[in-house]
Structure 1
Amino acid sequence: MIALDKLHSFIAYIQLEKNYSNLTIREYEKDIKQFIHFLEVEGVNNLNDVEYVHARLYVTNLYDEQLARTSISRKISSIRSFYKFLHREYNIRDDAFQSLYHPKKETKLPHFFYEEEMEKLFEGNKASDPLSIRNMAILELLYATGIRVSELTSIELRHIDSNYGVVRVMGKGRKERYVPVGDFALSAVEDYVLNSRTKLMKKTSHPYLFVNNRGEHLTTEGVRYILNGMMEKASMHSTIYPHMLRHTFATHLLNNGADLRSVQELLGHSHLSSTQVYTHVTKEHLRKTYMNAHPRA
């Protein structure tokens, strides 16, 4: 594979200097390796020989694969960053991708649960066995804080401060923030730690808050599996994924009068534009309410 040493140098750069998360680094590496493979197929054996025509052909191939515009946009950004690094460190020309068109993101509104749906989900999963207690703590904490599933699985016991009602989470780019936790979630977590976690841990030992049925550190895939099981138990047939609870958290806050800046800070968004999508959700909710309720709508 061409330029493997330069790719390794770039990965080391975004890991050590840019402090990107492991997930982001894997995505960069995957995108760039895919592009390098394309170059080899096209007979381009030197990164310095890449021209605009190659960049255009690569993007055309991505569209032919029927990838989402957001995925194509991310891949272009990955390669641009790679070439910017190559230009600075190895004086390799980086003009091929500079004028390349960036596809606009699709304007999809995030899916969320209505408040009555959340109540049904909570009510349908009340039980006193260790796994049910753990599952309730996971659901309460995701809904109460709006944290990402990767942030949830990274929480250690020492990161929960019951006295101040906050949890310390490590967000994207390894940015640390403190998120308030409501009484319902704190009680559920306390119940889990006292009456469930020790039973599940068995002979294992680690600092992470949430564990699987073997006492091992719970993974993000494990959380997805748990949430799907909770939906089935509550006899709810709609789709659920962890990020949907993050959308629900933000939407419910805005519906109940929270200001956008506060929601931005709670979600850990670097840019307000990332949070503004939820204002469109709340406006759409108001529009549907009006259309359904007004006699002459």
Structure 2
Amino acid sequence: MSEDIGERWSAVLGEYEHHLRRERDLSEHSVRAYLTDLRSLAVHAERLTIADPAGLDLRALRSWLASLKTRGAARTTLARRSTAVRVFTAWLVRTGRAEQDAGALLASPKAHRELPVALSQQDIREVIDAVPADDPVGWRDLAILEVLYATGVRVGELTGADLDDVDRERRVLRVLGKGRKERTVPYGVPAAEALERWLSQGRPALVTAASGPALFLGARGGRIDPRTVRQVVHRRLNAVEGVPDLGPHGLRHTAATHLLEGGADLRSVQEILGHASLGTTQIYTHVTNERLRAAYRQSHPRA
């Protein structure tokens, strides 16, 4: 945020950043998201002449959320910011920086959960078949698509993976998920074959002194970054006419949907995806139910 905040707010947010990094051991992305939300709150609070976080009250918090809503913030954004401020105000009280927890009674706007878009099995086949896997970048892109679809891992988990995270004999990949929780996910024969080609022929052609142990590399030899992976997925999907334009998270949705359609139980899918709550995984049951209803309407003579 471009607007400056006062000394007291700046000092407390600096202390809170230290808490997030050192004590909670959150990822860089999570720390940045928390601080962005709280700096927005700080700017609004100072406009209300609240120069110290200790002076926050429920009215100020509601006023802040209302101002965000009038500027077009989505319900999911408002819900996330409500959570961020509740965690912050609880920390203020717990550490003696405030006497009352202003966020304790702050309700989160109910987020509208849209059903995630997923590719069909035919779409996946066409996209993978269309990748011209005849050079190092092509072999890499094919391996990325196969692994994302086979495992349902997040893009950050994929880019953070190292060579020794792949167990080629057991066909499993070890990843570090949200909250630095480690899990192991299986992958199938097509992904194994794509990985083998990438590791034996593609990666050696791109490797440099900057590569380190990274599993996937960018064109210049360094560890591939999430933005490049997103570009790869969009480009490869856009190359096939009629396929929805999804990113890596769309392939994660697709993997979960196809697992459930194939008979996997919800708990297994939860473990594969690394969801902390089964409720997060349950949205995919709605996706499969919608598909079943659509198939029924199209095929049953009395639908």
TM over 0.5: yes
| Aligned pair partner of 1:3 in 5, 9, 21 | 9
Contact 1:113 1:245 in 2 (8 A): yes
Counterpart of 1:3 in 2: which secondary structure?
Answer: helix
**Pairwise mapping of residues 99-114 of structure 1 onto structure 2 (< 5 A)?**
99-114=105-120
Equivalent residue, structure 2, for 1:182: 188
Equivalent residue, structure 1, for 2:126: 120
User: 207-216 or 92-101: which moved more?
Assistant: 92-101
Deviation string 1:142-170 (CA, Å, 9 cap, x unpaired) is: 00000000000000011101111111100
Equivalent residue, structure 2, for 1:193: 199
Give the Å deviation of 1:63.
0.7
Q: CA separation in 1, counterparts of 2:34 and 2:66? A: 20
Q: CA separation in 1, counterparts of 2:246 and 2:120? A: 13
Give the Å deviation of 1:13.
1.6
Give the Å deviation of 1:236.
4.5
Counterpart of 1:58 in 2: which secondary structure?
Answer: helix
Equivalent residue, structure 2, for 1:39: 45
Contact 1:125 1:234 in 2 (8 A): no
Closer/same/farther in 2, CA of residues 100 and 124 from structure 1, 3 Å limit: same
Equivalent residue, structure 2, for 1:229: 235
Contact 2:54 2:92 in 1 (8 A): no
| Aligned pair partner of 2:173 in 163, 167, 172 | 167
In the alignment, is residue 250 of structure 1 matched against residue 274 of structure 2?
Answer: no
Deviating above 3 A after TM superposition, structure 1's stretches of 4 or more consecutive aligned residues are 202-205
Aligned residues: 297
Q: CA separation in 2, counterparts of 1:151 and 1:161? A: 16
Counterpart of 1:216 in 2: which secondary structure?
Answer: coil
Q: Give the partner amino acid of 2:236.
A: M
Give TM-score scaled by structure 2 length: 0.94
Q: Give the partner amino acid of 1:287.
A: R
Q: Give the partner amino acid of 1:124.
A: A
Equivalent residue, structure 2, for 1:157: 163
Contact 2:157 2:177 in 1 (8 A): yes
| Aligned pair partner of 2:71 in 65, 87, 90 | 65
| Aligned pair partner of 2:22 in 16, 23, 27 | 16
Contact 2:123 2:243 in 1 (8 A): no
Counterpart of 2:45 in 1: which secondary structure?
Answer: helix
Deviation string 1:116-163 (CA, Å, 9 cap, x unpaired) is: 000110111142111111000000000000000000000001110111
Equivalent residue, structure 1, for 2:141: 135
Q: Give the partner amino acid of 2:101.
A: D
Give TM-score scaled by structure 1 length: 0.96
Equivalent residue, structure 1, for 2:60: 54
RMSD (CA atoms): 1.3
Q: CA separation in 2, counterparts of 1:197 and 1:205? A: 10
Deviation string 1:217-250 (CA, Å, 9 cap, x unpaired) is: 1100000111122123333452111100000000
Contact 2:157 2:176 in 1 (8 A): yes
User: 238-247 or 225-234: which moved more?
Assistant: 225-234
Q: CA separation in 2, counterparts of 1:100 and 1:40? A: 19
**Pairwise mapping of residues 80-99 of structure 1 onto structure 2 (< 5 A)?**
80-99=86-105
